[in-house]
Amino acid sequence: MCRNIKTLRPPVQPEEATEDEIRAAALQYVRKVSGFRAPAAHNREVFERAVDEIAEATGKLLRQIEVRGAAARAS
């Protein structure tokens, strides 16, 4: 599962990652860590909360990360 998570930062991805791409990566991560492709009804809320929190942290990381030399390589 996790091998399906693609790198979302420049210059690997030429454009800024979309919210959908970030959420898809977070979902794959939670699926891998939990061992569940889809949670049982009694775990759905905690599963979704984890996806939301990881997506938020991922978005923050991507906004704040500095890739040295990225501007030079993009030219």
Q: Closest Cα to residue 26, out of 12, 10, 6?
A: 6
b/e sequence 58-69, b meaning 16+ C-beta within 10 Å: bbeebeeeeeee
Is residue 1 over pLDDT 60?
Answer: no
Average pLDDT over every residue of 39-65: 96
Span 3-51, pLDDT tens digits: 667 888 877 777 889 999 999 999 999 999 999 999 999 999 999 999 9
Q: Closest Cα to residue 1, out of 29, 20, 26?
A: 29
Average pLDDT over every residue of 47-68: 94
Peptide bond into 39 cis (omega under 30): no
